[in-house]
Amino acid sequence: MDFTLSPEAIAYRNLVRSIIADTVTDEAIEDIHRTGTFDLPALNFALAKHGLLERAVPGMGKGDPIELWILFNELEKAGAPYDGIAVSLMIAGVINAVGTDQQKHRIIPSIVSGEAGVCMGYSEPDYGSDVASIVTRAVQDGDQWVINGAKMWTTMAHVAKWLILLTRTDTDLPKHRGLTMFILPMDTPGITVKPVHTMASEHTNATWYDDVCVGDEAVLGEVNGGWRTMTVALAFERGVMGGTNQGVPLLTHFAKWVKQVGLASDPAVKVELAKAAIDMHVSTLLTQRAAWIAASGGLPGLEGSMAKLFATEAYQREVHSFQNVAAQPGLLGFHEDGAAAEGFIDYDARHSPVTTIYGGTSEIQRNNIAERHLGLPRNR
Amino acid sequence: MSFDLGFTTDQTTITDLFNSFFSNESRPEVARAAEPLGFDADLWQKTLALGVAGMAVPEANGGGGASLSDAVIVAEAVGAALAPVPIVEHMVAARTHPITDLVEGAALGTIALTPAADGRWSFVPAGAVADIVIGVDGGDIVAVRSTAPGVAPRNHACQPLAHRSSRDGDRTVIGDASSFERVVAEWKTLTASTLVGIAQRSLDMGVQYVKERHQFGVPVGSFQAVQHGLADIPGLIDGSRILAHKAAWASQPDVAQTIEPEFNEYTDFSVVASMAFLFAGEAAVHATDRSLHFHGGYGFSEEYDIQMYYRRARGWRLIAGDPRNEYVALADKMFGDN
Ligand SMILES: Cc1cc2nc3c(=O)[nH]c(=O)nc-3n(C[C@H](O)[C@H](O)[C@H](O)COP(=O)(O)OP(=O)(O)OC[C@H]3O[C@@H](n4cnc5c(N)ncnc54)[C@H](O)[C@@H]3O)c2cc1C
């Protein structure tokens, strides 16, 4: 195995690092934590200006998956907000893979210029892991589709320009076969967005659809082919677009803090630091492998599952261990006097639980690995 | 494209060659019959005939010129088969001290992982069977040729362990103690890979077993609790394997040695080797534990192979000492010695 980054990849990485240094300021990070909207237009525009968003659309052929990995890995290591662009770029990739020419021309440029974000309406109040059972209905009426229903956890819906919406178009077909995906502007009449606040200050939303009317131009992929469109999206998401190195900023803050307060010489603390650092590095290597498979023309769905499963649980172990070491100062939030690791222990302890829930829970990843990698019998 | 996490054609050939060699010559019965010593002299002779002794020694020293990465592949096959032959120890010894006897395999070599105390190396891996032991004594690396005891204390891992003298015998100073860290890093890299082999084979055996074993009218592998206990393991194994290969890659002279925790970037050979050794050790312990457990009572019986893997997964890593010390030393390299 050869772990050498090509000179082009290193130049690319340095460019990403300099864009982060310019745009992801302390004030910007603070703002994001205050609003709970993990999206930073200044960063998106700067990436777009250098052509990096366009290069990062999965499968579009402008940049390779290694670049995509580098981009998101650098963003998450820096604690930069990337939730918004990760979804937007992934959906641009889906549009590129299954969309019509008209959709490609209308939507992709608005995403890669950094102007428009996309939000994802898959999950519903009653269906999360079993997303293929969703009940939001789209009914054909002449040359229109009329959509009615409710979605839950529609993150970024309050700022996004576009919405990708999973609906049921045929109730007679088996659950995976009666689904259709739509892509439509968020300002389409009939859409209501209400905030849902979370433990990690992350702002997400509940959304409602009341007689939302769109034409065929909004169907993304085939009618009743929504599950295939989902699979394309998941293959990108579980690959390399962030979410597997979120413990790195905490490690940096924590290592600095234990030095400041004189805990760094304690061998028990050193053991915890080394364990966390190893886990973070393994997480990145597993992600790098998924990127390499994608770059070699494969679909790293399973390898992405392995990376996500390991990395998110490792992140939670890290937080737990650092929280124990930091004890009372670790309970203090941002800006509190004497807060351990600048308040990040509190933050990461609030944030890390969601990482094994969204993007497919750990149990769903394990089902996937057990059935498809180990070849064990299906249990549902 | 940038990095390449695949094997070269040569490496695929090496993988196939050693896997088929061990599956013919080192079936589980061989490891079993070699207990408690953990060494099979016949198998060692057959291994030598494959050219293993000097395989990873530079051509300039009369060796086969294979890289440490190639040796990592051989080590994984050794672990998967629990082959009772000290290929890893010998390869490292021959690379460190490429004298003809070691390169050709006329003498069996090993390394002492910790410096001698009062002229004695403790718990030398393969120490019970090695003709030449290489290790640190005071400020020097010395190679000592003396008579192998041929017996080992009974131990958990069936390792041919022995305490050996760093003074008595034919003693040659071959270098400065400061350069021994690299030698131990090679051993950690290769041992990490044997642990990967142990973990992978244990997982495979466990998966096979739960597909065949029926309870309540269905294969036990259809129960989600069983599936989920196994599903964590592939990521641990693959992560360990990639780390071991990264360590081998980092050992090359042209790789810039960096340690940057804030960027989660490490290319320093001793750091990555230590990571690989620690992580693969935990992975092998976990994989063997789960696999044994999902064998039910049979896993606990001597007749089944998984218990042999379970014991070696623990023993082969603890030969290097308390893992906490390894974590501490690693943290000092990463975050500074405080
Ligand atoms: C902050 C946040 C942001 C999100 N953003 C979005 C978004 O932008 N768009 C979107 O569509 N969705 C989003 N989600 C939804 C997310 O994808 C779901 O939460 C997730 O898929 C899990 O579904 P659920 O919450 O309904 O849990 P459930 O599916 O009800 O699961 C409950 C528990 O049961 C377990 N479980 C379920 N099925 C199985 C099974 N077969 N085997 C074993 N265990 C099982 C789960 O692992 C979990 O522990 C977001 C969620 C959060 C919390």
pLDDT in tens, B104-149: 999 999 999 999 999 999 999 999 999 999 999 999 999 999 999 9
Res B1 pLDDT > 60: no
Distant-in-sequence, close-in-space partners of B139: CB < 8 Å, separation ≥ 6: B176, B177
Rounded Cα distance between A308 and A319, Å, is 16
Query: CA of B324, closest CA in chain A: separation in Å?
Result: 6
Mean pLDDT to the nearest integer, A30-53:
94
CATH placement of domain A119-226? 2.40.110.10
In A, minimum Cα distance to B249 occurs at A2
Tokens read off for A152: 């839950």
For chain A, the domains span 7-116, 119-226, 238-373
Position B56 in a domain? no
Residue A117's closest CA among A44, A220, A25? A44
Chain A residue with minimal CA distance to B211? A376
pLDDT value at B229 more than 90: yes
Distance CA B330, CA B135 (A): 21
Mean of per-residue pLDDT scores for chain A:
94
In this predicted structure, the answer to whether residue B181 has a pLDDT above a threshold of 90 is: yes
- Closest chain A CA to residue B275: A278
In-domain check, residue B214: yes
> What pLDDT sits at residue B87?
98
Q: How confident is the model at residue A238 (pLDDT cuts 50, 70, 90)?
A: low
Q: Is residue B331 part of a domain?
A: yes
Residues in chain A closer than 8 A to B279 (CB atoms): 278, 282
For chain A, what percent of residues have pLDDT higher than 70? 99
Number of residues assigned to chain B: 338
Does pLDDT of B212 surpass 80?
yes
Sign of CA dihedral B19, B24, B29, B31: negative
**Cα–Cα–Cα angle for B268, B273, B277, nearest 5°?**
155
Question: Which amino acid residue places its CA nearest to atom 37 of ligand 1?
Answer: A129
* B130 part of a folded domain: no
Residue pLDDT, tens place only, A156-196: 999 999 999 999 999 999 999 999 999 999 999 999 999 99
Are the beta carbons of A286 and B2 separated by less than 8 Å? no
Tell me the pLDDT band of A239, cut-offs 50, 70 and 90. Answer: low
B37 inside domain: no
Interface A-B, measured as beta-carbon pairs within 8 A, has a size of: 174
Q: How confident is the model at residue A233 (pLDDT cuts 50, 70, 90)?
A: confident
**Which amino acid type is present at position A163?**
L
Q: Is the domain defined by A238-373 classed in CATH 1.20.140.10?
A: yes
Q: Look up the CATH number of the domain holding residue B304.
A: 1.20.140.10
CATH code given to domain A7-116: 1.10.540.10
Q: What is the DSSP string of A270-310?
A: HHHHHHHHHHHHHHHHHHHHHHHHHHTT---HHHHHHHHHH
Beta carbons of A270 and B7 less than 8 Å apart? no
Separation in Å, CA A135 to CA A103, A126, A138, B169, B200: 25, 9, 9, 81, 43
Q: What is the pLDDT of residues B47-100, one digit of tens each?
A: 999 999 999 999 999 999 999 999 999 999 999 999 999 999 999 999 999 999
Mutate to test the pocket of ligand 1, among A38, A87, A118, A129 (most ligand atoms within 8 A of CB): A129
Which chain A residues are closer than 8 Å to B3 by Cβ? Answer: 1-5, 66, 288, 292
Asked if the interface predicted TM-score (ipTM) of this complex is over 0.85, the answer is yes
pLDDT tops 60 at residue B283: yes
Position A380 scores a pLDDT of 59
Helix (H, G, I), strand (E, B) or coil at B92: helix
Q: What is the mean pLDDT of residues A290-308?
A: 89
Which residues in chain A touch residue B202, judged by CB atoms under 8 angstroms apart? none
Residue B36: is the preceding peptide bond cis (ω within 30°)?
yes
Q: Residue B140 is inside which H or E element, if any?
A: strand B140-145
So what's the pLDDT on residue A201?
86
Which of A356, A358, A365 has most ligand 1 atoms within 8 Å of CB, for mutation? A358
Res A101 pLDDT > 90: yes
Confidence label for A379 from pLDDT (cuts 50, 70 and 90): confident
Identify the weakest region by mean pLDDT among A80-94, A133-147, B268-282. Answer: A80-94
pLDDT at B282 over 70: yes
Evaluate whether residue B232 is within a structural domain.
Answer: yes
CA angle A58, A61, A62 (to 5 degrees): 95
Is the pLDDT reported for residue A364 higher than 70? Answer: yes
Rounded to whole angstroms, the Cα distance separating A33 from B217 reads 53
Topology agreement, domain A119-226 and domain A238-373: no
Percentage of residues in chain B having pLDDT higher than 90: 98
Whether A77 and B264 lie within 8 Å, measured CB to CB: yes
In Å, what is the CA distance from B140 to each residue of A96, A339, B145, B180, B203? Answer: 64, 48, 16, 9, 42
Written as six digits, the tokens of A323 are 């929280």
Per-residue pLDDT band at B255 (split at 50, 70, 90): very high
Total domains in the fold of chain B: 1
What's the pLDDT score for residue A207?
A: 98
Region B177-197: mean pLDDT is: 98
| pLDDT surpassing 70 at residue A237 | no
CA dist A179 and A132 (Å) reads 8
Order of all β-strands in the sheet with B109-111: B109-111, B132-137, B140-145, B170-176
Residue B299 lies in a domain: yes
- Alpha-carbon distance of A169 to A140, in angstroms, equals 8
Measured from CB, residues less than 6 Å from any atom of ligand 1 are: A 120-123, 128-129, 153-155, 198, 202, 204, 354, 357-358, 361, 363, 367, 380
Q: How many CA atoms lie within 13 A of A352 on its CB side?
A: 26
Residue B272 domain boundaries: 181-335
Higher model confidence: residue A239 or residue B206? Answer: B206
Instruction: Kindly state the average pLDDT of the residues B261-288.
Output: 98
Cα A362 to middle of ligand 1, angstroms: 10
Residue to mutate (ligand 1; options A123, A166, A237; most atoms within 8 A of CB): A123
**CA–CA distance, A325 with A119 (Å, rounded to integer):** 38
| CB B98 within 8 Å of CB B36 | no
C-alpha B142/C-alpha B134 separation (Å) is 6
Residue written as token pair 């019998």: A377
Of B3, B218, B262, the CB nearest to A4: B3
Q: Is B268 helix (H, G, I), strand (E, B) or coil?
A: coil
**CA-wise closest residue to B198 among B283, B273, B275, B73:** B283
pLDDT of residue B75: 98
Give the integer Cα–Cα distance in Å for A313 and B228: 14
Q: What is the pLDDT of residue B152?
A: 96
Find the closest chain B residue to A74 by CA distance.
Answer: B263
The answer as to whether B162 is a domain residue is: no
The structure tokens listed for B268 are 């320093």
Query: Is the pLDDT score of B27 beyond 90?
Result: yes
Atom of ligand 1 nearest to the CA of A360: 21
Instruction: Give the position, in ligand 1's atom list, of the atom nearest the Cα of A354.
Output: 53
Instruction: Point out the residue among A309, A310, A376 whose CB comes nearest to the CB of B221.
Output: A376
Got the DSSP string for A195-229? Answer: EEE-TTS-EEEEEEEEEEEEEGGGEES-TT-HHHH
User: To the nearest whole number, what is the mean pLDDT of chain B?
Assistant: 97
